[in-house]
Structure 1
């Protein structure tokens, strides 16, 4: 089956021209694209005063099937429009895909539905049918050749000018983490003030060349349940001279942030409020929000218990620290914690 994908530009054009379709599927592993397209849709469809009542964000792993159908069939409060965002479809409760297909035929007038999935299994008939019946928007990660173009366009949109050589430096120092790049550009914009042209001194000051150990890369691998990626990244951290207990403490701290973000999403908080409440860097808060979409609270509770056990075993000498850290990462990745 050949799936016809809308580009992000296609979706934004439909949105700006008032031609929004009733149901979309955001599909792809670049979470930043999901979040930015959703924000554009919310702000276009709903006036600020209506958003608390007519915007609903639902985790597919926690919603009841009958409750979801009921939400689709409920018209907007006080007229106007209503937007339902079903997140984490690939981690949804049993039967959610069939319920989506059943429900999209009975959506109330004025209700728009956006479904988000990082990836679907194209071999499954139900996933084939979803991609056939829904309007799929491509949210795939950027290819290596596309990253410099995205950086240049995002910088120009923010009023920042980079040379070609500086863009190369940014890709070397920040990699392909678009969320981190966006946060660093926001810091750079504040630093520049009225200036638009970045000089090499500005870049070296705010985006230094010595990379931090890739703890977020390790967390991403763990969140994706990918031990083949997680273990090499753990090895990189260890080989860079990082102490096992320090790495474990960093992983535990980030999973505490992810847990707080998961609970915060349920309460309607945004990353800025979370950063203020926890006293953490805005980049860490945004990253935690993105990563929290990959877990349920019960899963996070089990992971935290496994990390506490690892800390105890390492500090009491019950197991060699490197081995215990590797085992903890593998068990969390494979869901055997």
Structure 2
């Protein structure tokens, strides 16, 4: 089942005896566990009703044994087992031996007083394995993949709605640009915005500028966005601010080169017919980053992007060899880029 369906069913009190929460988005995995805990366990029972195991240290037999043991002083219990690497194609250390037959047997006759959640931060499970096939047939698999660009924007707006406020036009997208795509980081920023604007308020772009502290990576991202949009004043203001904060010019060049390399790769793959989702998977990037890079790359021909990457390589060499003043070199590069 997909993540949204699983969360909806849990919200209605419709539980599966076993869940396999897997994927790159660890925040969603933790949200699934939190939702199960809230719906299944009374707050005063959590100390007795929730057990946690690390499968790199504990065999799966112990997890099944825990699930089959009658709960003590509570009506039901939740057993969380992390690092279920035996479900993937990853090579295990061999320190712990897991009896997968025991797990397969449990799937056929699970207890009615326990729920087991296995978690693993892997994009894919090894569907050649019998146990994975059995779990799939039991509809126990819950992928927790990175959200698409549109899903991420929708998710941020939903979090704001839960917190009792709303974002002005384009402000949710701006928050993602400033904060990055980590759901954990975004949640913290949404909480900060909620405190600032108050219940029923609307957060505007000017408010966001005061609230969110951008990392150097996000500043470089916005620096390039200003150049792409031919906003030279903002680009040079941002560069001056980075220098004032004593950011190393060579590091700035490296980060600019990284973003232009992504733009080159995205444009090249799009011209070959790949979708943005496929490109994200191919390059190991978040879909939102691919969407923004694609928009930036539209302003350049592929050959122009290759030329810019060469200019950055030359600038890096001249800076490191002392053939040019670092700040002057950066400013001249921005002027050539804008022209």
How high is the TM-score relative to the length of structure 1? Answer: 0.57
Deviation at 1:79, TM superposition (A): 4.6
Residue 24 of structure 1: which of 10, 16, 19 is its match?
19
> Contact conserved, 2:164 with 2:199, CA < 8 A, in 1?
no
SS of structure 2 residue aligned to 1:37: helix
| CA pair 184-238 structure 1, distance change in 2 beyond 3 A | farther
Residue 64 of structure 2: which of 69, 77, 80 is its match?
69
Q: For 1:225-279, what per-residue CA distance to the aligned partner results, in whole angstroms no more than 9, with x for missing partners? A: xxxxxxxxxxx9962389xxxxxxxxxxxxxxxxxxxxxxxxxxxxxxxxxxxxx
Q: After superposing the two structures, state which structure 1 stretch, 70-79 or 33-42, moved more.
A: 70-79
Residue 114 of structure 1: which of 107, 114, 117 is its match?
117
SS of structure 2 residue aligned to 1:18: coil
Equivalent residue for 1:49? Answer: 44
Deviation at 1:39, TM superposition (A): 0.7
Residue 240 of structure 1: which of 252, 255, 273 is its match?
252
Equivalent residue for 2:156? Answer: 151
Task: Establish whether residue 125 from structure 1 lines up as the match of residue 129 from structure 2.
Answer: yes
How high is the TM-score relative to the length of structure 2? Answer: 0.57
Structure 2 counterparts to residues 146-225 of structure 1, below 5 A = 146-194=151-199, 196-208=201-213, 210-213=214-217
Q: After superposing the two structures, state which structure 1 stretch, 86-95 or 74-83, moved more.
A: 86-95
Deviation at 1:159, TM superposition (A): 1.4
SS of structure 1 residue aligned to 2:52: strand
Deviation at 1:123, TM superposition (A): 5.1
Equivalent residue for 1:302? Answer: none
Larger radius of gyration: 2
Q: After superposing the two structures, state which structure 1 stretch, 125-134 or 62-71, moved more.
A: 125-134
5+ residue gaps, structure 1, are: 1-5, 215-235, 243-337
Distance in 1 (alpha carbons) for counterparts of 2:107 and 2:249: 46
Distance in 1 (alpha carbons) for counterparts of 2:249 and 2:103: 42
Equivalent residue for 2:223? Answer: none
| CA pair 238-43 structure 1, distance change in 2 beyond 3 A | farther
Aligned length: 215
SS of structure 2 residue aligned to 1:145: helix
> Contact conserved, 1:73 with 1:106, CA < 8 A, in 2?
no
Equivalent residue for 2:84? Answer: 89
| CA pair 200-18 structure 1, distance change in 2 beyond 3 A | closer
Residue 147 of structure 2: which of 137, 142, 145 is its match?
142
Q: After superposing the two structures, state which structure 1 stretch, 29-38 or 120-129, moved more.
A: 120-129
Deviation at 1:53, TM superposition (A): 0.5
Distance in 2 (alpha carbons) for counterparts of 1:12 and 1:76: 24
Deviation at 1:87, TM superposition (A): 1.4
| CA pair 168-109 structure 1, distance change in 2 beyond 3 A | closer
| CA pair 174-65 structure 1, distance change in 2 beyond 3 A | same
Q: After superposing the two structures, state which structure 1 stretch, 176-185 or 197-206, moved more.
A: 197-206
Deviation at 1:32, TM superposition (A): 0.9
Superposed CA RMSD in Å reads 2.7
| CA pair 170-143 structure 1, distance change in 2 beyond 3 A | same
Deviation at 1:178, TM superposition (A): 0.9
5+ residue gaps, structure 2, are: 87-91, 219-247, 255-339
Equivalent residue for 2:324? Answer: none
